[in-house]
Chains A and B, each alone.
Chain A
């Protein structure tokens, strides 16, 4: 596709359920990021994939959060046993060369935990 695609766009889940969020980056982009944005807040770094290197998981807030990326394509962010504080917009971004080219953002997945 022409841009970064995220699905679903909206997800409402019950507390304690697991959710999977998907990101399709722009083809050929080696770098992929996940960020969390709570209402009215900034972009909180979660995890970073770069090519075949080990992912930088330093931003994951707890062991309930995990992410995978298949090669240089699709990524899935999984949140287990969701809590109300997990409610936020989860944004995915990809870039060709992470340090000196722009990151393209998807439209995000709005997660609501009830």
Chain B
């Protein structure tokens, strides 16, 4: 039930764009995106709840497809501060009848000057 993220790692020059994908074998209630810098706790970026939803700021945004099984995170005109590991988290109804937040394996993004 763990979501699958791709790519595993990306190296960009400052100003370039990147797309990180997150997919699930089951329909999702929600998708969460987090960024973790080395030695720090993950920090929340955004949540998507509705199929077809797009969200975010001008340079960091995300989409949630209509079937609610895939999400993509878009990073445009990347800055050095975007470096870190990006995790998607997904919520489905568990066997216990309660939602739980499960994370993908992460995408390591390195921005070079």
Please indicate the chain B residues that have their CB under 8 angstroms from the CB of A48 in the complex.
94, 98, 100-101
Interface residues of B, Cβ cutoff 8 Å to A? 2, 29-30, 32, 40-44, 47, 49, 87, 89, 91, 94-106
Q: Closest approach, in angstroms, between the C-beta of A42 and any C-beta of chain B?
A: 4
Query: Is the pair A101, B42 in contact by a Cβ cutoff of 8 Å?
Result: no
Assess A42 versus B105: contact at CB under 8 Å? Given A91-B41, A98-B91, A107-B41: yes
Please indicate the chain A residues that have their CB under 8 angstroms from the CB of B97 in the complex.
53
Q: Closest approach, in angstroms, between the C-beta of A22 and any C-beta of chain B?
A: 16
Query: Is the pair B96, A56 in contact by a Cβ cutoff of 8 Å?
Result: yes
| Residue total for A at the interface (Cβ-Cβ under 8 A) | 26
Q: Which of B41, B43, B44, B98 contacts A50 (CB 8 A)?
A: B98
Interface residues of A, Cβ cutoff 8 Å to B? 33, 35, 41-43, 45, 48, 50, 53-54, 56, 58, 91, 93, 95, 98-108
Please indicate the chain A residues that have their CB under 8 angstroms from the CB of B102 in the complex.
45
Please, how many angstroms separate the alpha-carbon atoms of A95 and B30 in the complex? Answer: 14
Please indicate the chain B residues that have their CB under 8 angstroms from the CB of A56 in the complex.
94, 96, 98, 100
Q: Closest approach, in angstroms, between the C-beta of B72 and any C-beta of chain A?
A: 18
